[in-house]
């Protein structure tokens, strides 16, 4: 008596493999033409708008990086603290207020 379960033939196995290969190729094609998902910083800040200047300050064992945002004229400083393995950042300082302040009047 013949078994009721039929084994797939070579032709049907090849057809299944070709369908799977075509599905994979279509997925690759779609992913190649899909738009790139870029990470963006809050506020749409461009890297060209930030000026980074390395320096040293008394009391800091590691160097300091001064960051100036040329769009908003803010200055901040960032330093790496080795013992705690954390970044320390200064609160932003508005340079436009400092640079546009009138010089003190000289007495006679």
Position 4 in a domain: no
Position 59 in a domain: yes
Answering whether pTM is above 0.75, one says no
What pLDDT is stored for residue 3 in this prediction? 55
Counting the structural domains of the chain, the total is 1
Q: Is the pLDDT of residue 54 over 70?
A: yes
- Mean pLDDT for the stretch of residues 52-81: 87
Better-predicted residue by pLDDT, 11 or 55: 55
Position 42 in a domain: no
74-108 confidence digits (pLDDT tens): 999 898 888 888 888 888 888 888 777 767 767 65
Question: Would you state the torsion angle of the CA atoms of residues 46, 47, 53, 56, taken in this order, to the nearest 10 degrees?
Answer: 100
Position 102 in a domain: no
- What is the extent of the structural domain holding 84? 48-93
Position 107 in a domain: no
What pLDDT is stored for residue 81 in this prediction? 82
């Amino acid at each position: 008596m013949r078994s009721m379960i039929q084994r797939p033939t070579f032709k049907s196995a090849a057809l299944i493999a070709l369908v799977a290969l075509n599905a994979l190729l279509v997925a690759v094609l779609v992913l190649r033409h899909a738009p790139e998902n870029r990470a963006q910083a809050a506020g749409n800040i461009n890297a060209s708008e930030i000026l980074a200047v390395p320096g040293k300050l008394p009391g800091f064992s590691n160097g300091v990086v001064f960051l100036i945002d040329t769009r908003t004229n803010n200055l901040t400083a960032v330093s790496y603290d080795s013992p705690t393995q954390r970044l320390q950042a200064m609160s932003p300082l508005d340079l436009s207020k400092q640079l546009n302040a009138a010089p003190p009047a000289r007495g006679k």
